[in-house]
Structure 1
Amino acid sequence: MNQLQDLYQKAIRFAGEKHANQQVPGTTANYLLHLSNVAMEVMVAYQHDPVFDVQYAVQLALLHDTLEDTDCDLDELSEMFGEAIAEGVAALTKDDRIEEKEEKMKDSLQRILQLTKEVGIVKLADRITNLQPPPSHWSTEKCSRYKQEAKLILNRLGHCNVYLSERLQKKLAVYPVTRNGKMHTQD
């Protein structure tokens, strides 16, 4: 387990430096809150079913947004953490060359499915973490689209980890959408 702690510390420090000025959307919290929550979901999933490479998955969890949200590039990530980590993070990163949001997600999911289950586990953990009450400025339509996207993720990647699949299903069951400024639960 000491090796996991060392890998965690290296990855979170790198992510912390890269995401230093980024906040969790709709809050004043530093973005490391999101990254550490994704890593926590992965570690708890491992406690429930220790049949995946937790060291690889935790590093992916902490680094999964570095290519998408920071000035980090694939070469830097590969040099610091190895080719497998860089490849996993690249699959978790939406391709900006694709214009339509739904197509970006489908493309990312397709790339995730070509890699080991740890990459899919991180995507499930990421969406679980993101299914907090939506920012108040989100429209009902945006909340509904986000929920539909989460269902797509569950449908495509649910086989990667039973515990996280069940957790995502529970989150979806209570995910609120806004209507006329009031919070409602919708399936």
Structure 2
Amino acid sequence: MPAPDLAAMLIVLDACAYATRMHAGQQRKYTGEPYVLHCLEVVRIVAALLHDVVEDTEASIEDVRNQFGEEIARGVAWLTDVSRPDDGNRAVRKTIDRDHLAQAPADVKTVKLADVISNTRSIVDHGDGFARVYLREIAALLEVLSEGHPELLQRAKAEVARGVAKWLA
């Protein structure tokens, strides 16, 4: 087994500390767990600890760029919803965000697949009627994530199918 790259490990640890600070006090819907646990679950699937930090905290892409560099900031920017409340109703906003992700590089789509797996599992197992809306949105999103890692795509589809069986059958 090759020796770990110390610089890469320090970036990951720094990202973990940053995400923990930024998400401090936030809780997951349905489970009440600290929100950062969702980020760590996604990391177990694929390294993407900062995937929600701009979308869900006061952190900006510029903050991420200054702390972690251009490449990581670019990935976080692709993963951050671009729609705004004044763009229209939820369906319109989700279409805008889906179209944005459709243009993302394959590695970003892989991170999004890991995020979908984690979120879908949580919403299906602990959610309420929102699961019905969410599952339809995610089924549409998976259509534009086909360039992501094939195994993660299959896992995401399996989680959606499990949710459909529970909530929409």
Shift of 1:124: 0.9
Structure 2: distance between partners of 1:25 and 1:65: 15
Partner SS state of residue 64, structure 1 = coil
* 1:75-90 → structure 2 map (5 Å cutoff): 75-90=62-77
**CA deviation profile, 1:69-120 (whole Å, cap 9, x unmatched):** 1111121111111223222222222222423222322222322333321111
AA matched with 2:136: Q
User: 1:107 matched to which residue of 2?
Assistant: 96
Write the distance in 1 (CA, Å) between the matches of 2:79 and 2:91: 14
Name which of 114, 136, 144 aligns with 1:148: 136
Which residue of the other structure, out of 15, 20, 44, is the alignment partner of 2:24? 20
Q: Does the 8 Å CA contact 2:22/2:53 hold for their aligned counterparts?
A: yes
RMSD: 2.0
Offset at residue 134 of structure 1 (A): 4.8
Residue identity in the other structure for 2:78? A
Q: CA distance change for structure 1 residues 85 and 113 in 2, over 3 Å: closer, same or farther?
A: farther
Partner of 2:161: 173
Find the residue that maps to 2:43 and give its secondary structure: helix
Does the 8 Å CA contact 1:92/1:108 hold for their aligned counterparts? no
- TM-score when normalising by structure 2: 0.84
Distance in 1, Cα, partners of 2:71 & 2:93: 22
Cα 1:35–1:175 change in 2 (3 A) is same
Of residues 88-97 and 146-155 in structure 1, the stretch that sits farther from structure 2 once superposed is 88-97
Structure 2: gaps spanning 5 or more residues: none
Distance 1:130 1:80, change over 3 A: same
Correspondence 1:124 to 2:113? yes
Report how many residues are paired: 161
Alignment of 1:1-20 (within 5 A): 1-2=4-5, 3-20=7-24
Identity over aligned residues, as a percent?
29
Read off the aligned partner of 2:54 and give its amino acid letter.
Answer: L
Give the residue type in structure 1 aligned to 2:53: T
Shift of 1:150: 1.4
